[in-house]
Amino acid sequence: MTNVKASRNKARAKVDENDVARILGGKRHWADVGGPEDVAHDRYEIQVKGGLRVANDTIRNGLSSAQAAAIGTGKLPVLVLVDRAGTRIRRYAVMDLETWADYEGISGNDD
């Protein structure tokens, strides 16, 4: 396992938050205070999480399958995760961020 200093993690998180803000046309909160919102946006409350263990092969392969199925259909590829941990079943929609932003017409400058 690689040891990464906290300062490097904060720098990576800042880059991730800035990228998300740019893609979605929002604005990153300047303070690294760990609050409930990382990116200010008119339509969404955005919290950004990143890291080496955020996605696994179930997520990667499932989203790839949805993307392949959507080719030529004009439909938005969505992976739905069903989390059975704990006492309540929770469901999450996972999409490629840039594809979703374009679909929603909220895309910022994503150069």
Residue 61 clears pLDDT 80, i.e. is over it: yes
Largest Cα separation within the chain, whole Å, is: 45
CB 99 within 8 A of CB 78: no
**Interval 23-45: pLDDT, tens:** 999 999 887 666 789 999 999 99
**Interval 93-110: pLDDT, tens:** 999 999 999 999 987 755
- pTM here is 0.80
- First CA to last CA across the chain, in angstroms? 33
The residues near 4 (Cβ < 8 Å, ≥ 6 apart) are: none
pLDDT value, residue 27: 93
Give me the count of residues in the chain. Answer: 111
